[in-house]
Structure 1
Amino acid sequence: MVLGMFWACNKADVLFTDSSITEDPNVTYWDNYAVALSTYKLDTFATTGDSLFVLGTHADPLFGKTSGMAFAEINHPSQNPLKDQNVILDSAAVVLVPNGNYYGDTTAPFRLNVYKLTRLIGDDTASSATYYNPATIAYDNSNAIATINTRVAPLRKDSLFLKLADDFAQDLFDQIRNNVNISSNQNSFRTYLKGICIATDSSYNKALFQFRGASGAGLIRIYYTLKGLYNEHKYFDLTYNASKQFNHLSYNYTGTPMASFSPLKSTITESTEMQNTALLSNYLPSYIKITFPDILNVKQTYLYVKVVKAVLEIRVNSTGNAYPYQLPGQLWLYISNLNNQVSAVVTDPLDAQTPQTGNLVVNSLVENGTKYTFDITSYINTLIDEGRFSTKALLLSAVNNNYKSETSRLAVFNKADDPDIRLKLYVLGL
């Protein structure tokens, strides 16, 4: 299922009341027409070639525990500044730069370990193939070549320096300086160093962060001294192969509303089986499926029925969406079929080329003041016209619907006496 489509993302105003409508005696108003919710989770997704390192662990009380680790093949140096030079090693480190996206508590300590791969990336697939989660590569987890205990400041984007073990760093330095084949030939270099795994400590970490390499594609930085009349302190970066870099995300839903889900299977579950909760996340990824099982009942009273306005209101429950979690800045409503395949996106009623994005209003001073709204008048009339054979449904998704663009999640509680999601209907009956 592909949920990415291309439109300009402009806000559309959604009006709740219209005096000309409410004053018409033939118009019936429902403040909270029945809405049914489900959570739809995909089975797998591509993690190759994003130049992105997703690292850490976070236990979300609603969405479960998510852990991220990354694998990368290291390139031989395109230029060798050590060859035929009087140089000595100072140190070497894996350098990671936060890109600003995070999931969880950024104030807690953070620990990472670096290991050598014991198998080449691409051995089990074509060199141009895409790795899909939960793909992984064997690594030597008995001997970390770097470890860091620190705190990450994702918004400041301060670099992390994971100092490599002295013996490993010295051997790498010597091989680049002295071994012509390893320093100039990628096949020889990747035989010497198959790649690295950067792993989370899942029992220690409380947040998941996203990182880039240093100076673009740089990953391992080697600091050295060029000896001479005046010593010069220098460094150079070993880059990684973006087509052979991928992430591995693992999930544990035990003790959460998602406990019935399998991390490796596409699943759809009704909110009534999930503690009256529906969950949207771009780290799983998951979407909220919306249906209106009783919508045809509006035809029972009148011979002629026309919905003159239908507004879907999604209130943000502060209990389930509080700090440290981030709301999606914009949402899309996709029109889907029985198999959850999307055919279109709900657009602005005044501009069919512009998708509605939920028109998020943030007001923490008023109860239920933070909410998204969509005008779905056209969609509801289509459901009524198609009748009981209609297989249409709505899928609620973040506009940036994968973890590579945005780290956000939304929990919608669908309790019978006070649902977070409401359909407001103005129906003309004659």
Structure 2
Amino acid sequence: MKLYKLDLLTLLISLFILSACQNTDSIGLDVDPSTGISGTFIDTVTVRSSTVREDSILTNTLTQYPLGYFNDPIFGKTAANIALSLTMVNSNTTFGTAPVLDSAVLVLHYGDEFYGDSTSKFQIEVRQLADQLNKSKAYYNNSIFNVNSAVIGSKLVTIRRRDSVKVNEIITGKPDVIKTKAPQIRIPLSPSFINSNFINAAPANFSTQALFMKFIKGLHLKVNEAQSSGPGGIAFLNLTDSSRLDVYYKNTNGTAIDTTLLSFPILNGSEPVAANFTHDYTGTPVQTQLNNPTTQYDVTYVQGLGGLRTKIRFPNLDKLKALGNITINKAELVVTVVDGTDNYKPSPRLLLYTTDIASQRQFIPDFGTNPLVGLTDFDFGGFYDTTNKRYKFVVTTFLQDILKGTSKQYDTFIAPVSVNYSRQSGPVASGTTASRAVIGSGKSGVTYKMKLNIFYSKIN
């Protein structure tokens, strides 16, 4: 009778364990039932994580450029400014006979992100560069630009990325018309600056692009925090193909006086555009972690614009070898956002990558270019799950290679990237998103613990 009871108890326990292993939804492995994952489940592999500063970022070739200031209650202060070149549509540009300035407007088209407080007002100031940007020079986010002190244009704006604007459009020989244009920032520039450097400047300065660049130098954009209001934010601008300086002027055409528009495009593919962005973590919990890199905290931080990334290690991964000859059916790293830290939306997308023996960044195989193991962006993961407030990354092949000994484990990192990030860019630090997130660390016992979920099977 006692033996019967013991066998029954053993059977019930076995059924409970089997049921737990098959309930993939509860452990983060959300799979298609038709391709259900079988095997033994474990989530006790140690994960160690810490917050580290991001590397500097090359800004010459950004797809969009950051401008603004942002005072984040958790991450401290971020500031971003831009140095840009102007181009001519044609060589030997001329303003015609007896030109008289009407107005000049710097037109800045939005990129695809604004991160911060949408009600804040920003005092954007425009200055002239004292030195032209050099095509052959690499400009990193910590580069300093030599700028003239005089403000040649300014405007107090609220960032409205989705609001079109009404613009007075000139039509030669006909009355001007009001047209609706794509969302943009329009900053009027000083008449004295435009007269001196454009309308009344020597024609030789406009004979070639090289001479024009040498003469005009370029423009610098910065937000004056003291004259702005609110916590602020970082706006991204399209300085690739649609932003420009528009100069409206009148000149004599025979006996008639016409109003004419001459545009000077901003084209970062043709002439240099660069950005400077900085982070000040003074007095924040971020600074505390940076000052104590060996301490295990309950949370870690990630932040775009060359801010912060989370370093990850799996120090006891080799202990899985004690299980014998196993194959990993599926493995996911589950990263959870800490409640109460999403007053600003968590980064919409994070990237997980590793490093090699030379500390150079490398994709893990699951996100690599080998079509046999490389997954699609969606299948690999890293996109923010707004319902469960978490990110998931598939790391199956990455872990299997380490266990087989075909790959060594070096430092692995998580960092923000823009939603439209393409792996063709490589695993580089992102200068095209200012988003951030506070995530649970791998420390044992924390509420939002970072977990490595593994399904494996033994091989005979």
TM-score (ref. length: structure 1): 0.76
- How far apart, CA to CA, are the structure 2 residues paired with 1:283 and 1:268? 23
8 Å contact 1:271–1:278 — kept in the other structure? no
Cα distance change on mapping 1:422 and 1:350 into 2, 3 Å: farther
2:337 maps to 316
Residues paired across the two proteins, number: 392
- How far apart, CA to CA, are the structure 1 residues paired with 2:49 and 2:199? 61
Matched residue type, 1:334: Y
1:163 to 160, 167, 188: 188
What is the SS of the residue equivalent to 1:152? coil
8 Å contact 2:155–2:187 — kept in the other structure? yes
- Gaps spanning 5+ residues in structure 2: where? 1-28, 164-181, 422-427
Residue 258 (structure 1) aligned with residue 283 (structure 2): no
1:115 maps to 127
What is the SS of the residue equivalent to 1:170? helix
1:394 to 389, 402, 412: 412
Residue 15 (structure 1) aligned with residue 31 (structure 2): yes
8 Å contact 1:332–1:346 — kept in the other structure? no
- How far apart, CA to CA, are the structure 1 residues paired with 2:272 and 2:131? 13
Deviation at 1:237, TM superposition (A): 1.1
The range that moved more, 219-228 or 396-405, is 396-405
1:132-143 alignment, distance < 5 Å = 132-141=140-149, 143=150
Cα distance change on mapping 1:339 and 1:420 into 2, 3 Å: farther
1:216 maps to 241
1:150 maps to 157
Cα distance change on mapping 1:174 and 1:309 into 2, 3 Å: closer
Deviation at 1:35, TM superposition (A): 1.4
Deviation at 1:279, TM superposition (A): 2.5
Residue 193 (structure 1) aligned with residue 216 (structure 2): yes
- How far apart, CA to CA, are the structure 1 residues paired with 2:292 and 2:436? 17
Residue 45 (structure 1) aligned with residue 57 (structure 2): yes
Deviation at 1:386, TM superposition (A): 4.3
- How far apart, CA to CA, are the structure 1 residues paired with 2:217 and 2:249? 23
What is the SS of the residue equivalent to 2:160? coil
Residue-by-residue CA offset, 1:31-80 (whole Å, 9 max, x unaligned)? 45431112343332211144744211112334332211111233456266
- How far apart, CA to CA, are the structure 2 residues paired with 1:299 and 1:49? 45
8 Å contact 2:347–2:435 — kept in the other structure? yes
Q: Calculate the aligned-residue CA RMSD, in Å.
A: 3.8
Residue 183 (structure 1) aligned with residue 206 (structure 2): yes
8 Å contact 2:67–2:236 — kept in the other structure? yes
Cα distance change on mapping 1:149 and 1:363 into 2, 3 Å: closer
Deviation at 1:223, TM superposition (A): 1.0
Residue-by-residue CA offset, 1:176-205 (whole Å, 9 max, x unaligned)? 4xx221232445544543222111224436
Deviation at 1:247, TM superposition (A): 0.8
Matched residue type, 2:385: V
Residue-by-residue CA offset, 1:220-262 (whole Å, 9 max, x unaligned)? 2111134566653331112346332211112212123332688
- Gaps spanning 5+ residues in structure 1: where? 1-12
Residue 421 (structure 1) aligned with residue 450 (structure 2): yes
8 Å contact 1:51–1:245 — kept in the other structure? no
2:391 to 372, 387, 390: 372
- How far apart, CA to CA, are the structure 2 residues paired with 1:101 and 1:323? 13
1:238 maps to 264
2:316 maps to 294
Identity of aligned residues (%): 18
1:325-336 alignment, distance < 5 Å = 325-328=346-349, 331-336=350-355
- How far apart, CA to CA, are the structure 1 residues paired with 2:65 and 2:396? 42
Cα distance change on mapping 1:279 and 1:155 into 2, 3 Å: farther
Deviation at 1:380, TM superposition (A): 3.3
What is the SS of the residue equivalent to 2:375? strand
Cα distance change on mapping 1:19 and 1:212 into 2, 3 Å: closer
1:410 to 437, 451, 455: 437
Deviation at 1:361, TM superposition (A): 6.6
- How far apart, CA to CA, are the structure 1 residues paired with 2:207 and 2:81? 29
8 Å contact 2:94–2:203 — kept in the other structure? no
- How far apart, CA to CA, are the structure 2 residues paired with 1:36 and 1:117? 46
1:97 maps to 109
Report which of the two has the higher share of helix: 2
Matched residue type, 1:289: K
Cα distance change on mapping 1:418 and 1:230 into 2, 3 Å: same
Residue 278 (structure 1) aligned with residue 286 (structure 2): no
Runs of 4+ in 1 over 6 A off after TM superposition: 16-20
Q: Which has the larger radius of gyration?
A: 2
